[in-house]
Amino acid sequence: MKKLTLLLTAATLLMAACAKPQPQEFHVIPLPASVELSDGSFCVKGAAVQVDPALDVLSQKAVGRFIQALETATGAKTKAGDSGIRFVQNPNLAAEQYSIEVSAKGVDVEASALNGFVYACETLKQMLPPAIYGSKAVKADWVLPYASILDQPRFSYRGMHLDPCRHFFTLEETKRYLDVMTAYKLNRFHWHLTEDQGWRMEVKKYPRLTEVGAWRNGTVIKKDWDSNDGIRYGGFYTQEEMKEIVAYAAERGITVIPEIDLPGHMVAALAAYPELGCTGGPYEVWTRWGVSEQILCAGNEKIYTFLEDVFTELMDIFPSEYIHIGGDECFPHDKDIPWEHCPKCAALMKKLGIKKGPDAKHYLQNYVTARVQKFLNDHGRKIIGWDEILDGELAEGATVMSWRGTKGGIKAAGMGFDVVMTPTDYAYFDYYQSRERDKEPFGIGGYLPLEKVYGYEPFDGMTPGTEDHILGVQANLWTEYIATPEHLEYMLLPRMCALSEIQWCAADAKDYDRFCASLDHTFGMLDAMGVNYSLDYRGLMGMDRQPARSAEELEEYLNNNKVSW
List, as one string, the DSSP characters of 444-492. Answer: S--B--HHHHHT--TTTTPPTT-GGGEEEEEEB---TT--SHHHHHHHH
How many alpha carbons fall within 13 Å on the CB side of residue 365?
Answer: 30
From the CB of 389, what's the least distance to ligand ACM, in Å? 11
Distance from C-alpha of 403 to C-alpha of 501, rounded to nearest angstrom:
19
CB of 88 to ligand ACM, least distance (A): 43
Query: Contact at 8 Å (CB) between 503 and 472?
Result: yes
Q: How far apart are CA 534 and CA 496, in angstroms?
A: 11
Q: Does 285 bind Zn ion (CB under 5 A)?
A: no
Note whether 263 binds Zn ion by CB under 5 A: no
Q: Which does 70 bind (CB under 5 to 8 A by kind): ligand ACM, Zn ion, none?
A: none
| Binds Zn ion by CB under 5 A, chosen from 278, 285, 349, 471 | 278
Q: If contact means CB under 5 to 8 A according to the sort of partner, which of Zn ion, ligand ACM, none does residue 146 touch?
A: none
If one asks whether residue 299 binds Zn ion (CB under 5 A), the answer comes out as yes
233 binds, among ligand ACM, Zn ion, none (CB under 5 to 8 A by kind): none
403 binds, among ligand ACM, Zn ion, none (CB under 5 to 8 A by kind): ligand ACM
Taking the C-alpha atoms of residue 400 and residue 409, their distance in angstroms, rounded to an integer, is 7
- What's the min distance (Å) between Cβ of 326 and ligand ACM? 8
The answer to whether 345 contacts Zn ion (rule: CB under 5 A) is: yes
- Binding residues for Zn ion, how many (CB under 5 A)? 6
Comparison of 23 and 472: residue with beta carbon closer to ligand ACM = 472
Q: Rounded to the nearest whole angstrom, what is the least distance from the CB of residue 198 to ligand ACM in the complex?
A: 16
Q: Measured from the CB atom, is 340 or 359 closer to Zn ion? A: 340
- Residue 42 or 403: the one with the smaller Cβ distance to ligand ACM is 403
Q: Please state the three-class secondary structure of 226-293 as a single string.
A: CCCCCCEEECCECHHHHHHHHHHHHCCCCEEEEECCCCCCCHHHHHHCHHHECCCCCCCCCCCCCCCC
DSSP-assigned beta bridge partners for residue 421: 402, 473
Q: What is the nearest approach in angstroms of Zn ion to the Cβ of residue 210?
A: 25
How far is residue 406's CA from residue 404's CA, in Å, rounded to a whole number? 7
Q: If 0-12 CB within 10 Å is exposed, 13-18 middle and 19+ buried, where does residue 7 land?
A: exposed
Q: Which is nearer to Zn ion, 326 or 423 (CB)?
A: 326
The stretch among 115-123, 270-278, 304-312, 369-377 that binds Zn ion (CB under 5 A) is 270-278
Which residues have CB under 8 Å from 307's CB, separation 6+?
260, 262, 296, 371, 372, 375
CB of 322 to ligand ACM, least distance (A): 16
The footprint of ligand ACM (CB under 6 A) covers 328-329, 386, 403
The nearest distance, CB 99 to ligand ACM, in angstroms, is 38
Q: What angle separates helix 343-352 from helix 360-378, to the nearest 10 degrees?
A: 80
Helices marked H in 318-359:
343-352
297 binds Zn ion (CB under 5 A): yes
Residue 428 Cα distances to 159, 181, 290, 448, angstroms: 13, 16, 16, 7
Closest CB to Zn ion among 278 and 502?
278
CA distances from 271 to 215, 278, 317, 326, 368 (A): 10, 13, 24, 19, 20
- Binding partner of residue 141 among ligand ACM, Zn ion, none, CB under 5 to 8 Å per kind? none
Alpha-carbon torsion 499, 330, 277, 398, what sign?
positive
382 binds, among Zn ion, ligand ACM, none (CB under 5 to 8 A by kind): none
345 binds, among ligand ACM, Zn ion, none (CB under 5 to 8 A by kind): Zn ion
* CB 283 to Zn ion: min, Å: 14
Among ligand ACM, Zn ion, none, residue 386 binds (CB under 5-8 Å by kind):
ligand ACM
CA distance 217 to 229: 9
Q: Which residue among 51, 113, 262, 342 contacts Zn ion (CB under 5 A)?
A: 342
Strands 48-51 and 79-80: parallel
Interaction between residue 264 and Zn ion (CB under 5 A): no
Report in angstroms how near the CB of residue 335 gets to Zn ion at its nearest: 15
Question: Which residues would be at the binding site for Zn ion (CB under 5 A)?
Answer: 278, 297, 299, 342, 344-345
